[in-house]
Amino acid sequence: MGRLLSKPLQGSLNLLILKTLSHGPLHGYAITNHIQQVSGDILQVEEGSLYPALHRLQQEGWISSEWAISDTNRRVRFYKLTVKGKKQLALEEDDWKQITAAVSKVLKFV
């Protein structure tokens, strides 16, 4: 198991959240849990980063939210991807591929 990274690369949080929500609506804790589990416990999104990001994404119109009851019988806000958010996800995935390819080139430079 690798080192837990609580501060993912600047700018990747939007991408991680949008990609997570592309699989269906989730509440905040489920979003952070999904990212941590899928990343093999390498990435951890703190509440102090998650909720401001969710608020920004909602202001942009990339996600929407509604109150509902969770599996644990608690009232929570569920977030889901909008049509505009699906388009943004595609853009961010393309940007991420370009960035990682460029970083890879720099790391391989001899």
In the chain, the domains with their CATH numbers are: 12-108 (1.10.10.10)
Residues 31, 102, 8: CA angle, nearest 5 degrees: 25
Say if residue 5's pLDDT is above 70: no
Look up residue 54 and give its two tokens. 């969710």
pLDDT for the residue 71:
87
Tell me which of 3 and 82 has the higher pLDDT.
82
Say if residue 57's pLDDT is above 60: yes
